[in-house]
Amino acid sequence: MAQPARPAASYRSQNGAGQQPYSNGPVQNQMMHSSDAQGYSPSVPGPYSHQTPSKVPPHPSSGQYNYSGSQNVSQFNSYQGPGQTLNRTPAAPLSGSPVQQTGPVPQVLPPALQNSAAVSSAGGFPPGVSPPMHPNWQYSQAPVSHPAAAQPSHSAPVAGTGPAQPPPPLSGNPPGSYQYAASPGGPSLQNSYMKPGSVPPPVTQPLTPLHPPSRPPLGPPPVGGPPLIRPSTVTAGAPSTQSLLHSATNQEGDATSAAGDGSVVQNSYDAIEGGGLMATPHPSAPANLKMNRNVGYSYPALPPGYQNTSPPGAPGMQASALQYPDGSKHFHQPPLGTNHLNASMGSLSLQQEGLRPVNLLQERNILPTTLLQAPVPNLHEDIQKLNCNPELFRCTLTNIPQTQALLNKAKLPLGLLLHPFKDLSQLPVVTSSTIVRCRSCRTYINPFVSFLDQRRWKCNLCYRVNDVPEEFMYNPVTRVYGEPHKRPEVQNATIEFMAPSEYMLRPPQPPVYLFVFDVSHNAIETGYLNTVCKTLLDNLDLLPGNTRTKIGFITFDSTIHFYSLQEGLSQPQMLIVSDIEDVFIPMPENLLVNLNENKELIQDLLKSLPQMFTKSLETQSALGPALQAAFKLMSPSGGRISVFQTQLPSVGMGALKSREEPNQRATAKDIHLTPSTDFYKKLALDCSGQQVAVDLFLLSGQYSDLASLGCISRYSAGSVYYYQSYHHKHNPVQVEKLQKELKRYLTRKIGFEAVMRIRCTKGLSIHTFHGNFFVRSTDLLSLPNVNPDAGYAVQMSVEESLTDMQVVSFQSALLYTSSKGERRIRVHTMCLPVVTTLSDVYLGADVQAITGLLANMAVDRSVSATLSDARDALVNAVIDSLSAYRSSVLSIQQPGLMAPSSLRLFPLYVLALLKQKAFQTGTNARLDERIFSMCQVKNQPLVYLMLMTHPSLYRVDNLTDEGALNINDRTIPQPPILQLSVEKLSREGAYLMDAGSVMFLWIGKSCGQSFISQVLGVPNYGSIPQNMTHLPELETAESIRTVAFISWLREQRPFFPILYVIKDDSPLKSSFLQNMIEDRTESALSYYEFLLHIQQQVNK
Amino acid sequence: MESVVFIFSLIDCCALIFLSVYFIITLSDLECDYINARSCCSKLNKWVVPEVIGHAVVTVLMLISLHWFIFLLNLPIATWNIYRFIMVPSGNMGVFDPTEIHNRGQLKSHMKEAMIKLGFHLLCFFMYLYSATTGARLTDLTLSN
């Protein structure tokens, strides 16, 4: 059923590249946590999780849930996920029909969405989930969820949930709907909330319990002005009951979750009381946050069943919130009282937990055993579930300080980290002739705006009141008029618009790819041309594009060679331009040709290219002139230039001199991190102006001055790849790496002639940008190309104090031309609470985001000042924030080094940064390596940056299925993450270190024979080959587990991490040990020493 | 002779005032998005050297003509101009770099600098004017005597 619905909707879901893996693990967790924290009472783990997803739907992640889910249910979910976004409309009709109720769950869901999230979720689960549910559950849960949701699902016919449901015939009584809703929940619960009257078939009951989601519906009903709030109130009531039940029944597996519930409830309650539009951050809220985190950690351990989350039905939720309708507040009110009590108690304990300072010197094992999840902003659940996925948009402080003074006091950087073009498994796309935007600040309408009435909405960034255009009154999804608040634009924090012609300065450009190869003697020696041409040949059909795709080639040594691929030629014709002082294009056409029409000629060229220069003795490299030629060739159309370079450019414009002095590496001073010429920067800006991006592949054994060369990519929004000492024979590992990365590079999504703008609520201002692009005007980033693997960061300050604001919002809008020639706008919106006290600011600190932003700032500092300045600044960041915490937040001065538990990993991460290639001292890092590492810091999305900085270490010789994930019939073991210290290694074990772009499998000397023979496939330790980079796929259980785990890790990222198997005598052992961040090295402190140092400074 | 020195300084100072105003206008255009960073910076960078020279000339002239007070007054700004010009990193496209100007509040600090210079030059303008007129009067007096 669900499927049909999709088509109906105007949206299309887009599939990103392999996102699935993501969804499985971490994402779900987050969702679950967040939900818990926010308000739901987790009491029933199963149902909850389901719920959450439903609410979430708008997020891309929702789709992901499905995967993780076990059983049929999960499948449904997945379906729905996509479906939901697409089709809300269809759903509505469905709900109306009795048929749906009984049978097909999936169908139900869609309706649910429209009506109330809860409903939908309920629908989905029934098949799988319901059985598990016990009567008890129903009781407890029922109160919570039901009101609306339950009813809709079964009772759709009976009573609409009211406003939301209108489509169904029943809708007649919107107000009444509430009551109905209650009833569903209830048969059991009815007493408390609802009126029995309505309801439904027994069958439904089981389902209802499941659907905690139903609660959300409750919220909405209340109606009234500030829609959001109301929902909360309702919810609050429900939760309280739930929590009580829980305790009584004690059914829940998760103690923690239960606790969370309590707190959650409270929040919602408070919010209600406050009456503010959005949930206001309450003191209690922090507590919740904490809870979430904790839960998050534990998450891995949860049995797979729990993890299933149903897809997000959520959109409904919001809608409900927004609805003006009628509310029957009084119904819920009574329960509130109890809730309140309950909640407050819960919150108390929670809060303490959240604010509990951690003595870093005493707590040896602070590293969580699972990947750290982003903290969940302390917003009302209804808002939070609509919030942007933290993988796309993240803020260093999830509680925004109200004034600059408060921010300064906290000594933490305020900034955003974005990954705007990430491949998404599911993305709602809206085609509409009018895109609704604020008339004064041009913000796109988003889930966090408020509707004053049906005809007017208030911008959440500048607070201007705007009219709702006539067209927007009609909801294409539900085909209902007069529900602007249910449009997909208002239901999804991440959405893509098809841009009409006013968003084009010129007709969308065709995809144009130009490859520029270094063919000097040195380049031919490395043999890279073979690999590149072969990979290109294999992926020629996979290049993103359409029938207009154009491609061209240039090679250069001390001269520049063009290739005419004119139709009708029997073979490509080479044209040599030897005047490199004044480069010109030898012929006006046929150098860039249509890929489809000239495929054979292109294939011929790629096959013959590697052999054409084998006898070349030319050692000079005229990179500068070649780039100028490429620019001239590309400037009429725009597009992408991929440059392969293997040495320092030596002739013509842009020639460079070697600046590396090996014996000076040890001193952090006097190393050349700044470009030596502005040639590449100027050229990059020219390229940027013509919508041309340059990607640089540097494959060089010697110093090639990446600091200067990198500018060409940095300012034209390209990317830099560096393969140190690439050689086809001597360095086979690099060859494989190049192959894999090039494949990804060639086939990944690409956006052309893009611009990105980041807006934030009045009062905040963005003052610094990090990433590869050119800042064309104050807040407009020019991105000639945008790719899914690029991350960006910005720093902000609080210019005017945010008095009277409960929440602030951030919106990034990326306008680009897809490879199919469509102009699209991808919009992400994030909403965060504002706080007034320092302890709340610390509570909301996102330590990973802070580390990421500090790393970006440190790169700038090393370039503008010196490396040692940057290192000092990093250490000072820790010292300042911890001493501010000590002096301003801690009431009792305790001995030791106290940190808020949100920042307990801060010193560890900063120490990891100090030991990272980009910032380390000592003689290990070559200059180009260091600069490449800096490029990565600037250009990598946060997740990979964190892995690169602080790798994850797992013990893999004793993997078990305990706590394993189940994905697509594969069992993925989930070993705990170990601290990065040699002390954690044992000679008897085998350890996997996942450092993002590279993995190490370290085999202990006395590692169990079974592991060596059954996983590595060699008879004994001594016979493990020196350069082993693949694990054989053997039929043994150990091998299957290990391989499954490693491939699962790999699937989560777009690039391909190479696996090195290392033993005691491997040359790579030093790289492995270098990542042991907690240990002492010749030039750096151990973690404990570092803490002592910090303590000393803090206590001064 | 006195008055010639001051009249020349006066003209030079006028030019510097115009230049400061031009800097301010261009930077505020950039702030308001009327022009893009690239063209703004290339416009401004053209005038950095003339500014340095213009100011250095007055300063040297004051030294030569032994007006110590005015010389010392001019010295810090002249030194700052030269220092700023010399210290431009090799990879930057001049004192005003389009890729940096929107970062770390550089635009604001450039603006502030231009304002301060404008104020300083105005001050100097009246000082030269006064000196030139009094100097001229002195010569008149000597002539009439």
Q: At what angle do helices A942-949 and A847-864 cross, to 10 degrees?
A: 80
CB nearest A778 (choices: B90, B91, B102):
B102
Q: How far is CA A845 from CA A32, A852, A919, B6, in A?
A: 20, 13, 24, 61
Please tell me if residue A681 touches chain B, with a CB cutoff of 8 Å.
Answer: yes
Same domain, A1037 and A896: no
Taking the Cβ of residue A891 and every Cβ of chain B, the question of whether any pair is shorter than 8 Å is answered with no
**Pairwise CB contact (< 8 Å): A674 & B98:** no
Q: What is the ipTM of this complex?
A: 0.87
Q: Which long-range contacts (CB under 8 A, 24 or more apart) does A1014-1018 make?
A: A1014/A1038, A1014/A1039, A1015/A957, A1015/A990, A1015/A1039, A1015/A1042, A1016/A1061
Indicate if the alpha-carbon torsion angle A365, A368, A374, A380 is positive or negative. negative
Q: Are residues A733 and A876 in the same domain?
A: no
- CA dist., res. A587 & res. B50, Å (int): 42
- The pLDDT of residue A957 is 82
B75: helix, strand or coil:
helix
> How many domains does chain A contain in total?
4
- Domain co-membership, A743 together with A834: no
Give the HSE-up count for residue A787: Cα atoms under 13 Å, Cβ half-sphere: 25
Residue A467 β-bridge partners: A456
CA distance A104 to A110: 11
Closest-approach residue (CA) in chain B for A773: B99
Residue A74 covered by a domain: no
Residue at A618 is within a domain = yes
Which chain B residue is nearest to residue A673, measuring alpha carbons? B91
Q: Does the pTM exceed 0.90?
A: no
pLDDT tier, A664 (very low <50, low <70, confident <90, very high otherwise): low
Instruction: Quick: pLDDT tens for A913-962.
Output: 988 888 888 766 788 888 898 999 999 899 889 888 888 888 888 877 77
A942 and A972 in a single domain? The answer is no
pLDDT tens figures, B88-129: 887 788 888 888 888 887 888 999 999 999 999 999 899 888
- pLDDT single digits (tens) A208-253: 333 333 333 333 333 333 333 333 333 333 333 333 334 333 333 3
How much is the average pLDDT of A560-567? 88
pLDDT tier for residue A355 given thresholds of 50, 70 and 90: low
- Contact status, residue A34 vs residue A257, Cβ threshold 8 Å: no
- Of A707, A726, A749, the residue at which a domain comes to its end is A749
> B42: nearest CA in chain A?
A682
- CATH number for the domain including A931? 1.20.120.730
Q: What percent of chain A has pLDDT over 70?
A: 66
Is A158 contained in some domain?
no
Q: What three-state secondary structure class fits A95?
A: helix
Q: What is the pLDDT of residue A281?
A: 35
Q: Are residues A853 and A793 in the same domain?
A: no
A996 and A902 fall within a common domain:
no
Residues A777, B37: C-beta atoms closer than 8 Å: yes
Q: What pLDDT does A857 receive?
A: 92
A104 in a structural domain = no
pLDDT tens for each residue of A412-447: 999 999 999 988 888 888 888 788 888 888 899 888
Helical packing angle, A1087-1098 and A906-914, nearest 10°: 110
CA–CA gap between residue A843 and residue A806 (Å, rounded):
17
Q: Count of CB atoms within 10 A of residue A764's CB?
A: 22
Residues 6+ apart with CB under 8 A from A1008: A957, A988
pLDDT for residue A66 is more than 70: no
User: What pLDDT is attached to residue B140?
Assistant: 58
Do the strands A465-467 and A474-475 form a parallel or antiparallel pair, or are they unpaired? unpaired
Residues of B in contact with A674 (CB under 8 A): 89-91
A711 to B91: CB separation less than 8 angstroms, yes or no? yes
Report yes or no on A161 lying in a domain. Answer: no
Query: Hey, what are B20's tokens?
Result: 């400061």
CB within 8 Å: B103 and A768: yes
* Per-window interface: B 76-95 vs A, CB < 8 A: 89-93
CATH code of the domain containing A733: 3.40.50.410
Q: Determine, for residues B103 and A769 on separate chains, whether the beta-carbon distance falls below 8 Å.
A: yes
pLDDT of res. A669: 52
Chain-centroid distance, C-alpha A574: 45
| Chain segment A606-642, per-residue pLDDT in tens | 998 888 888 888 888 899 999 999 999 998 888 999 9
pLDDT tens digit sequence for A782-827 = 999 999 989 999 999 998 888 888 889 999 999 999 988 889 999 9
Given pLDDT bands bounded at 50, 70 and 90, which one contains residue A123?
Answer: very low
Contact A767 B98 (CB under 8 A): no
pLDDT of residue A33: 38
pLDDT digits (tens, 9 = 90+) for B22-59: 999 999 988 888 888 888 888 899 999 999 999 999 89
A658 plus A603 within the same structural domain: yes
Contact: A682, B105; criterion CB under 8 Å = no
Classify residue A990 by its DSSP letter.
E
For residues A441 and A426, give the distance between their C-alpha atoms in angstroms, rounded to a whole number: 28
Same domain, A578 and A718: yes
CB contact under 8 A, B91 and A777: no
Q: CA-to-CA distance for A343 and A350, rounded, in angstroms?
A: 10
CB contact (8 A) between residue B102 and residue A675: no
Query: What is the structure's pLDDT at A694?
Result: 93
Indicate which CATH number applies to the domain containing A820.
2.60.40.1670
In a domain, A529, yes or no: yes
Could you tell me which residue, A200 or B13, shows the higher pLDDT? B13
End position of a domain, from candidates A845, A873, A906: A845
Read off φ and ψ for residue A301, nearest 5 degrees.
-70, -20
Per-residue pLDDT at A614: 85
Residues A35 and A62: their CA atoms lie apart, in Å, by 13
- Report the SS3 class of residue A260: helix
DSSP reduced 3-state for A313: strand
- Residue with token string 């020195």: B5
pLDDT, residue A555, reads 92
Chain A touched by B99 (CB under 8 Å): yes
Between A92 and A837, the more confident residue is A837
**Residue A795 pLDDT:** 92
The tens digit of pLDDT for each residue in A867-895 reads 888 889 999 999 998 888 888 887 777 77
Residues A710-727 have a mean pLDDT of 89
Alpha carbons A1022 and A1016: distance in angstroms, whole number: 12
Residue A909 domain boundaries: 357-374+846-950
A968 and A904 inside one domain: no
Residue A997 pLDDT > 70, yes or no?
Answer: yes
**A-chain residues near B99 (CB < 8 A):** 681, 685, 715, 774-775
Residue-level pLDDT at A661? 66
Whether residues A435 and A555 share a domain: the answer is: no
* Nearest-neighbour CA in chain A from B99: distance (Å): 6
A768: contact with B, CB 8 A cutoff? yes
Query: How many C-beta atoms lie closer than 10 Å to residue B127's C-beta?
Result: 18
Residues from chain A contacting residue B91 (CB–CB below 8 Å): 674-678, 681, 707-708, 711
- Give the angle A906-A908-A910 at the CA atoms, nearest 5°: 70
Mutation choice for B interface testing from A657, A679, A716, A776 by most B CBs within 10 A: A776
Q: Which of A819, A845, A871 is the last residue of a domain?
A: A845
Are A401 and A547 contained in the same domain?
A: no
Instruction: Specify the CATH number for the domain of residue A1022.
Output: 3.40.20.10
Domain membership of residue A157 (yes or no) is no
Mean pLDDT of chain A: 70
Q: Are A436 and A468 in contact (CB under 8 A)?
A: yes
Give per-residue burial for A406-417: e unless 16+ CB within 10 Å, then b.
bbebbbbbbbbb
Does A86 fall in a domain? no
By the 8 A CB rule, do A398 and A778 touch?
no
Whether A675 sits inside 8 A of B91 (CB atoms) is: yes
Question: Does residue A678 share a domain with residue A574?
Answer: yes
